[in-house]
Structure 1
């Protein structure tokens, strides 16, 4: 059955000319019917074409298709792969958290590509203009639906699909590797028998011979890796000697490099005939590789592949492996889910991996099966060989997995409170009956009917009521006299920022403490070096309201308070500090009281503290990127809590801490990062030249910016960027220099914004005690009353502070002293 005969207008959208047997059997259900489709089939049997068939039908009907990729790395892969659709004038748009969303492009896209997490976020905000495109989806293809059983991520996929079906009722096409309980997934998605397919191993293009090999576990983890590596090479060697190829999966990017280097030496020692050093053309092509280690390795027929390589290097490795020029390839599990690179022999060297947020965890059974599924090259091999290398104690577990497969379970019960809170925050649940209606749309409900005892199904209603009561007790939900349910501001923020409820409660408690403390926010600076001049006109001129350290100089909130709240969040509960990291952690935290922190919390705190100054020690860098990325999201969420519950000054501090973690700049120069186009490099360069704030940039002008080392074009853009920020002047009016004891007077201070309008907080304190505080949208000017009174003191020190909660600008601070006579 040729593609051109079945879909003449889409023939060029497929990477092949003829459908295989599995695709032919599923084709009528996808093209000739409208019902939802569930298809389970072995890895490498051609499931991607089923997704493309469903997409083609939607496009032919004038609709929009959504493709849910199991991980972010694969969204980019699909974008490249589906250039074929672009050439047919259908637009493909990838929506991920790493890219700035263009809502206009998303609305106009014919094919959207998203991860479950991003789709969850978008559907929670579907009623906003920015994300309304998610309500206009006609077909939703779930790639690798067995992700439902993944720890944490599974529940996200489950509730998101349930929500999407309520929002716009798209056709669902769910694809999966082999799963024993495909009928449960079909029942969840209302796919009839006629459109539910369970393709067995007979549909594999190459038979799979899979097994488990053990090694002797020692006390040294580092040595164990090499024991497993030699075991893997023992398994691969016979195939390599017969001009076959081997794919070895390891646990981390760094391990792919180390294993490849060690394997090169071992292959040479064993005198295995490999490599293409005599191939002049390949020798020349290898110079195109950007990674030097990889360049040195590929000529010996050994390479490595991971998401951290440049796209150029990944593409070359994949192409050379397909051509047989690379015979032994070390990779992370990402490759198993993405590009179809089969090998005669597949070995899983590592069944455990280090997760920066979770510590050492077992590799998912789904990952194991996915990787083994890459064994066997269609058209070249009659059989593929797949091996799991593991400790003797775990051998039976993996033998059962290979023999029986893995039923897909629901993980919703593990995070029911969090997801229930999100639905209530969106307004889709307003009473207990709504909760039950919502649950009936989940895979959890279907699986509970299949296994009532394991899922405690008879007590489901009681469990839900307990869950709701817990949300009410913790302040996320409130109930009315009519038993209605409504989210509190705390519950709405927890949902909006994807917070674990324990973290949201901690943030709310911190806000309460800040609001109740003297000053209800961040205290004014006390040293003259931190004060701005009386007539400063600057967007974020010097006058930082805090010093690093908790509650210094009477401040109710300090930088370390923000870092501590994030470092001790439950999102980082499983972070562990390895022995070789502890000296670096101690060095970063010298002089900081962390007695109550556990080792993992100290590690996160140290990474955040060092990141804020751009000095992360080498020993902490392997986990720093992931921890920083998650921390910036949490700091942003904390800023929203502080803005809502504690005031603009506290929120501004959080925003500055967030910018420092992202950019690694000093506290007094962080305001520069508010300028569009100024990152850590330019901020540091300007700060070294004495230009530490946007106000300094405006005062310097383009010529002085060029003198500071910026090119002419960049200097002009930076100057224009500084002009687009708020800039404040404080007019004290006829403020007295002295007042008699017992005399009272009310004066007015005017805060003028001569820059761009922005939300602001204006606070007046006298001798460190807050007199007045106001939040406003500062468009032109705002006048605040200031009471001058002859108190029992020698002098009164009045401080006016202006902070912008949404910008990392240092607060503008001015002071006046009134003598009491």
Structure 2
């Protein structure tokens, strides 16, 4: 059955010319029916084509397709793979972070690509102008739906799909590796028997011989890695000698490089015939690699692959592995979920990995099965060999996994309060009956019916009531004033949902905002919040509760935190604080870099949330301080130059360059003009764009008018100070203090001018210093402060 015969208009969208047996059997359900489809099939059997068939039907009908990728690293791969659709005049758009989102492109896209987390966030904001495109989806393809059983991420996928179905009722096509309880997933998604497929190992293109091998565990974890590496090479060696290929999965990006380097030496010592050093053409081609270590390694037939490599290097490694030039490849788990790169022998060297946010964790059973599924090269091998290398104490666990598979469970119960709060904040739940109606749309409810004892299903209603009461007690939800069972979200609950916070973190942020607000009321002074308070609030957030500090990081942490009062912070919290402080200064120690990217990414989200809490519950000046801290953590620039990062096109490098030349604010940029920016080291084209962008920010001038220079003791007067925004309109907080004590504070949308009444009074002072301060809570601009002194006579 050729693609061109079945889909003549989309033949060029597929990477092959004819459908295989599995694809042929599923094809009528995808193209000739409208119902939801669930298909479970072995790894490497061609499931991706089922996704593409569903997408083609939606496009042919004039609709929009949404593809849910299991990992962020794979979303861009899909964008690259689906250039084929672009060539057919269909647009593909990957929906990424809040700041990178282009809503116009998203609305116009024919194929959207998202992760479960991004879909959850987008559907929570579906009624906003930025995310309204998410309600215009006609088919939603869930790749690797067995992700439902993943710790933490599983519940996100579950609630996001349930919500999407309520919002726009798209057709759902769910694809999965082999799972024993596919019928439960089909029941959840209302897929009838005719469109539910369970393709067994007969459909696997190559038989799989999978097993468990143990190693002798020692005292030193570093030495253990090499014990497992030698075990992996032992398992791969016979296949390498027989012109086969081996794929070894390890825990981290660094480990791929270290293992490949060590393996090259070991392979040479064992005199395994590998490598293409005599191939002049390949030697020349290898010079195109950007990574020096990789360039040397591939000549010996050994390579490594991870998401941190450049796209050029990843593409070349994949190409050479498929061509057989690379015979032994070390990779992280990303490769198992993404590119179809089978090998005769697959070895999982590491069953535990270091997660920057969770510490040492077991590799998920789903990952293990996904990796082993890469064993066996269709068209080259009759059988594939897959091995798990683990400590003897865990061998039985993995043997059971290989023999029995893994039923897909729901993880919603583990984070029920968080997701329930999100639904209440959106207004989809207003009473207890609504909660039960919502739960009935979840996989949790279906699985609870299948395994009532495991899920404590008879007590479900009581459990839900307890959840609601806890949300009320913690200030996220309030009961209706009429005394009935109606419920609605508080500002705390809305902000927790909007910023995707754990409830413990949201409560901490709300309490900090309350303390700041109360302190200002009692003391009558300006913002009492300091940068150290902000960084500590984030470093101790629940999102970082499992971060651990390795022994080799502790000296660097202590060096960063010299002179900083860390009080009762534990080692993990100290590590986060050290990364945030040194990152904000642009001086991150090398020892802390391996986890810094993930921690800083999460910290910027938390800082954005904390700013919103302070803006809503305290004051704009406090929110502005947090926004500046956020920009510093994100860009690594000094506090006096952080305002430069508000300019579109100015990142950390340009900000530092300009600050070095004495240009440290958007106002300085405007004053310097294009010629001044060129003198500071920018090219003329960049200087023009930066100058124009700087003029699109708010810019404040303060006119004191007829403000007096003196006032008689005991007399009082009211004068008007005019604040003018000569730039773009923006929300602003305006504060007036006298001798450091706050007189007035207002929040306003500063479009043109704002007149502020200021009382001048003859107090028991020799002089009065009046300060007008204007802060923009949504921009990392330093507050504009102007002062006048009035002499008391």
Same fold, TM-score > 0.5, yes or no: yes
- Are 2:64 and 1:64 aligned? yes
Instruction: Select 1:720's aligned residue among 692, 697, 701.
Output: 692
C-alpha contact (below 8 Å) 1:2/1:19 kept by paired residues? yes
- Are 2:505 and 1:503 aligned? yes
Q: Deviations over 1:115-145 (max 9, x none)?
A: 1111111111111222121111111111000
Counterpart for residue 7 of structure 1: 7
- Are 2:646 and 1:682 aligned? no
C-alpha contact (below 8 Å) 1:521/1:649 kept by paired residues? no
Q: Deviations over 1:136-195 (max 9, x none)?
A: 111111100000000111001000110111111111111100101111101101111111
* Deviation, structure 1 residue 733: 2.2
Q: Which moves more between the two structures, 424-433 or 243-252?
A: 424-433
CA distance in 2, matches of 1:66, 1:758: 35
Mapping for residues 325-340 of structure 1, pairs under 5 Å: 325-340=325-340
Helix, strand or coil at the partner of 1:793? coil
* Deviation, structure 1 residue 316: 0.6
C-alpha contact (below 8 Å) 1:68/1:142 kept by paired residues? yes
CA distance in 1, matches of 2:105, 2:775: 35
C-alpha contact (below 8 Å) 1:336/1:371 kept by paired residues? yes
Counterpart for residue 592 of structure 2: 620
Q: Gaps spanning 5+ residues in structure 2: where?
A: none
* Deviation, structure 1 residue 398: 0.4
C-alpha contact (below 8 Å) 1:514/1:521 kept by paired residues? no
* Deviation, structure 1 residue 521: 11
Q: Deviations over 1:321-370 (max 9, x none)?
A: 00111000000000000111000000000000000000000001000000
Q: Which moves more between the two structures, 59-68 or 263-272?
A: 59-68
Helix, strand or coil at the partner of 2:287? helix
Counterpart for residue 217 of structure 1: 217
Distance 1:292 1:571, change over 3 A: same
TM-score after normalising by structure 2:
0.98
Helix, strand or coil at the partner of 1:17? coil
C-alpha contact (below 8 Å) 2:250/2:333 kept by paired residues? yes
CA distance in 2, matches of 1:247, 1:290: 22
Counterpart for residue 19 of structure 2: 19
Mapping for residues 314-463 of structure 1, pairs under 5 Å: 314-463=314-463
- Are 2:691 and 1:691 aligned? no
CA distance in 2, matches of 1:751, 1:35: 61
Q: Deviations over 1:697-749 (max 9, x none)?
A: 22223222222222222222222222111221112222233333322222221
Counterpart for residue 162 of structure 2: 162
Distance 1:419 1:521, change over 3 A: farther
* Deviation, structure 1 residue 523: 6.2
Q: Deviations over 1:473-510 (max 9, x none)?
A: 11111111232111111111111110111111111001
TM-score after normalising by structure 1:
0.95
Mapping for residues 276-675 of structure 1, pairs under 5 Å: 276-480=276-480, 481=482, 482-518=484-520, 556-675=528-647
Counterpart for residue 731 of structure 2: 759
* Deviation, structure 1 residue 750: 1.4
Helix, strand or coil at the partner of 2:554? helix
C-alpha contact (below 8 Å) 2:524/2:741 kept by paired residues? no
CA distance in 2, matches of 1:131, 1:570: 27
C-alpha contact (below 8 Å) 2:424/2:488 kept by paired residues? yes
CA distance in 2, matches of 1:736, 1:123: 55
Counterpart for residue 93 of structure 1: 93
C-alpha contact (below 8 Å) 1:522/1:557 kept by paired residues? no
Distance 1:776 1:450, change over 3 A: same
CA distance in 2, matches of 1:678, 1:453: 57
Counterpart for residue 190 of structure 1: 190
Counterpart for residue 42 of structure 2: 42
Counterpart for residue 814 of structure 1: 786
CA distance in 2, matches of 1:727, 1:85: 45
CA distance in 2, matches of 1:744, 1:523: 21
CA distance in 2, matches of 1:445, 1:473: 26
Mapping for residues 242-261 of structure 1, pairs under 5 Å: 242-261=242-261
Q: Which moves more between the two structures, 581-590 or 7-16?
A: 7-16
CA distance in 2, matches of 1:299, 1:708: 45
C-alpha contact (below 8 Å) 1:40/1:177 kept by paired residues? yes
C-alpha contact (below 8 Å) 1:656/1:808 kept by paired residues? yes
Q: Deviations over 1:44-92 (max 9, x none)?
A: 1111111111112222222211111111111111111112222222222
Helix, strand or coil at the partner of 1:455? coil
CA distance in 2, matches of 1:59, 1:277: 48
Helix, strand or coil at the partner of 1:212? strand
CA distance in 2, matches of 1:16, 1:295: 31
CA distance in 2, matches of 1:671, 1:50: 49
Q: Which moves more between the two structures, 705-714 or 174-183?
A: 705-714
Q: Gaps spanning 5+ residues in structure 1: where?
A: 525-554
Mapping for residues 71-150 of structure 1, pairs under 5 Å: 71-97=71-97, 100-150=100-150
Helix, strand or coil at the partner of 1:288? coil
C-alpha contact (below 8 Å) 2:524/2:742 kept by paired residues? no
Counterpart for residue 529 of structure 1: none
* Deviation, structure 1 residue 9: 2.0
C-alpha contact (below 8 Å) 1:519/1:769 kept by paired residues? no
C-alpha contact (below 8 Å) 1:302/1:328 kept by paired residues? yes
CA distance in 1, matches of 2:570, 2:124: 34
Q: Deviations over 1:779-805 (max 9, x none)?
A: 121111111222233332221111111
CA distance in 2, matches of 1:519, 1:750: 25
Q: How many residues are aligned here?
A: 791
Q: Deviations over 1:596-618 (max 9, x none)?
A: 10110110011001111100111
